Structure 1
């Protein structure tokens, strides 16, 4: 029985599919949401890095430094040694707590190694940049900061066994 609609049209499966306005808006919403999530996570990470840098920013007078010859002449030894990410740290006594801290107050892209000591008496650092020797003295807390493998030391620390 013939129909009034006429002959059936064959469907063209090779035709280019067109996207409507709803597809474009949907894609923009998805991309925008992803960008918002990535940005908010980056801001949270940066704020956490700044807070950690503040916590580990120890100020104090510089530790007395010595050359390797002076250190060895005074028969100083630092028998308690450990490796911290390719840098060997030594101390005579006391306890230590270390952390990786973003440089530039937590805003930088590099990472400093910071170690707080309760009462090291003497400190040695062997890094790719050289060997460093500090003698804060018995009972004196100290903090080492290793920036680009160069060690600096101050005679202060917030670390105690009770804060750990």
Structure 2
């Protein structure tokens, strides 16, 4: 028969092994969910050389920086995340931003600038992965 001290030590040893396993498993599942939730499909956003003033109006765009990328939007809110690039525990990530009604979105990666013009009342999701910029007319963020 084991003493209470031996049982306590055994319980601590089991907890010492199970806690990291639980943390890794939990982190893995959260990051897989993040990848799935922010992988958004839809038709491509229209790309323009410069915003059409008849669509965007006279108001200046609002700019912000996320993961070293400079984004501009004509109006509305934004929500951005950095899902994992490869497997869920890989520290590499990419940027995904959802705009519920941006009218226009500019993306400056430092290498090049792309301007999307989704238009009035249309949602847009912009992804910047390995320097490549894409935009789809879809999203679930409501702002």
Give the alignment's TM-score, normalised by structure 1. Answer: 0.67
Larger Rg: 1
Deviation of 1:101 (Å):
1.3
Which among 79, 99, 106 is matched to residue 61 of structure 2? Answer: 79
Partner of 1:118: 100
Within the alignment, does 1:58 sit opposite 2:37 as a pair? no
CA, structure 1 residues 63+78, in 2 after alignment: closer, same or farther (shift >3 Å)?
Answer: farther
Which among 142, 155, 158 is matched to residue 124 of structure 2? Answer: 142
Q: After superposing the two structures, state which structure 1 stretch, 107-116 or 141-150, moved more.
A: 107-116
Partner of 1:99: 81
Q: After superposing the two structures, state which structure 1 stretch, 105-114 or 137-146, moved more.
A: 105-114
Distance 1:133 1:45 in 2: 35
Q: Is the Cα contact below 8 Å between 2:47 and 2:115 reproduced in 1?
A: yes
Deviation of 1:108 (Å):
4.6
**Paired residue secondary structure (2:83):** strand
Deviating 4+ runs (over 6 angstroms): none
Give the alignment's TM-score, normalised by structure 2. Answer: 0.76
